[in-house]
Amino acid sequence: MSEQFDVVVVGGGNAGFSAAHSAVEQGATVLLLEKASADAAGGNSFYTAGAFRFAFDSIDDIADLLEPDERHANSVVPAYPRRAFADDMRRVTDGRCDPMLTEVLVSRSTDTVRWLAGKGIRWRLLYERQAYLSGGEWVFSGGLFVGTVDGGKGLIARHTEAALREGVEIRYGAEVTALHLADAAERGVSYRDAAGAEHRIRAGAVVLSAGGFEADPKRRAKHLGEGWDRALVRGTPTNTGEVLDLALAAGAAAHGDWGSCHSVAWDADASPTGGDRELTNQLTRQSYPIGIVVNADGARFVDEGADFRNYTYAKYGRDILHQPRGRAFQLFDAKTRPLLRKEEYDSWPIAGARADSLSELAERLGIDADGLRRTVSEFNESIVDNPFDPAVKDGRAARVSPPKSNWAQALDTAPYYGYAVGCGITFTFGGVRVDESAQVLGTDGKPIDGLYAAGEMVGGLFAGNYPGGSGLTSGAVFGRLAGASAGRARS
């Protein structure tokens, strides 16, 4: 037996819920199918810090959206116009972002954030993640300033509440096993429930928002290359790529960079198979720009201060993966330790050590002591004597190889602190090709009737790297477009 809905949405993260809300606005009946159980739902969105990158000409333009905070009066939040957002997309992807998709993302980003606020999503300035005290003021940088209250957990909770209010039917433990697209009268999906029973859903339109293949070791090794099967999965263990494969088998055109992904410095002792539902994003280690990062030989291998963290963190996981044992070590001393993100470096458990000397720290972390001593000595002696200011690109560089372009502080004041990190994979960049309405395009370049996509399944936006916070924004922007298009096309 089969059931009938106007729109079926596959995947229950930020993109899927955005599509569901938008389809309901078109008067559609909506079924949302989520592969995970109810207590493990939310996709990768649940595991995020909830940061959204979007354009505005003045913080006053969106001040009405922000939760009250006594620090607002003492904060410096620079403008982030559309041009800057588009320039960042092109710069960090080395010009490999799809121009049309980038224009859609940038031009619709702010209105989509405001639209989400209308659904009950709450917003705040991310002081603990995006600002430093400088000259007595909270100074924000890196084009990413605003996130959801209660992070990814709050984002998914409020998405779910809104969907239920709107009459969206949500089914958990529903693994989609087939797409039916050839016949408009029979269009829809098949899914298997948690008990193993098969179900057939007919729908006027289908929205795919089931993520990439980042949680599947074999697919990672196939597309990303040698060693990627050993990466640590930051988010949901359910994004294993089957729905993406179903779309390609149905004639969808592959698009974007299938050979790269979003990957970060992640607690080295974290589970390799999926994120922690309690700690979520606290397992990331993102204060590396104010310290140094070495491998097990004691050698540095990246420019920790090449740019603001938002523009480098999503590519440095790859560099860590390729170090001996797939590990690296972020090192700080008594001067810099107070500047570390508290929610990340004061969380527990944590792979790290504290010591009164560098040699003792090396022994506790498993770093070659002689190699570390040479590296630190060369680094300390090469620092340009500019004032240190973590809120701006201060030009306080270390003239070594690789250089450290900003925020170089001598590692010379006990006690010393070290944190072991591995490569935490977030999401893959390859996906299907969509048009400006989020309709999936076939290998012939023509739209596939009744099929839409959003979130990580959309390929072409990111390549090699990405600007922090643009993933959640993309999911909401293209989810909203997909839902609206599907809702209008349902009959």
**Sorting pLDDT into bands at 50, 70 and 90, what band is 2?**
confident
- Whose tokens are 């705040």? That residue is 124
The answer to whether residues 359 and 332 touch, using CB atoms and an 8 Å cutoff, is no
CATH 3.50.50.60 is right for the domain spanning 2-217+429-488:
yes
Q: DSSP for 66-92, please give it.
A: BPP-GGGGGEE---B-HHHHHHHHHHH
pLDDT beyond 70 at 1: no
Query: How much is the mean pLDDT over the chain?
Result: 98
pLDDT in tens, 319-339: 999 999 999 999 999 999 999
Q: CA-CA distance, 194 to 303, in Å (whole number)?
A: 47
Q: CA-CA distance, 254 to 251, in Å (whole number)?
A: 9
Q: CA-CA distance, 410 to 216, in Å (whole number)?
A: 41
pLDDT beyond 70 at 491: no
Question: Which structure tokens are listed for 433?
Answer: 């090709």
Q: Residue 198, exposed/middle/buried by CB under 10 A (0-12, 13-18, 19+)?
A: exposed
The fraction of the chain above a pLDDT of 70, given in percent, is: 99
pLDDT in tens, 409-424: 999 999 999 999 999 9
pLDDT in tens, 141-186: 999 999 999 999 999 999 999 999 999 999 999 999 999 999 999 9
Domain range list for the chain: 2-217+429-488, 263-424
**Sorting pLDDT into bands at 50, 70 and 90, what band is 291?**
very high
Per DSSP, what are the bridge partners of residue 442? Answer: 252
Per DSSP, what are the bridge partners of residue 336? Answer: none
The answer to whether residues 57 and 199 touch, using CB atoms and an 8 Å cutoff, is no
Quick one: DSSP state of residue 25? H
How far are the Cα atoms of 21, 53, 104 from residue 474, in angstroms, in the given order?
Answer: 16, 9, 9
pLDDT beyond 90 at 490: no
Residue 480 amino acid letter: R
pLDDT beyond 90 at 34: yes
How far are the Cα atoms of 305, 344, 380, 418 from residue 288, in angstroms, in the given order?
Answer: 8, 12, 16, 11
- In 3D space, the residue among 139, 217, 230, 244 whose CA is nearest the CA of residue 459 turns out to be 244
Q: What is the CATH number of domain 263-424?
A: 3.90.700.10
How far are the Cα atoms of 66, 132, 360 from residue 70, in angstroms, in the given order?
Answer: 12, 16, 43
pLDDT in tens, 228-271: 999 999 999 999 999 999 999 999 999 999 999 999 999 999 99
pTM attached to this predicted model = 0.98
pLDDT in tens, 94-145: 999 999 999 999 999 999 999 999 999 999 999 999 999 999 999 999 999 9
pLDDT beyond 90 at 75: yes
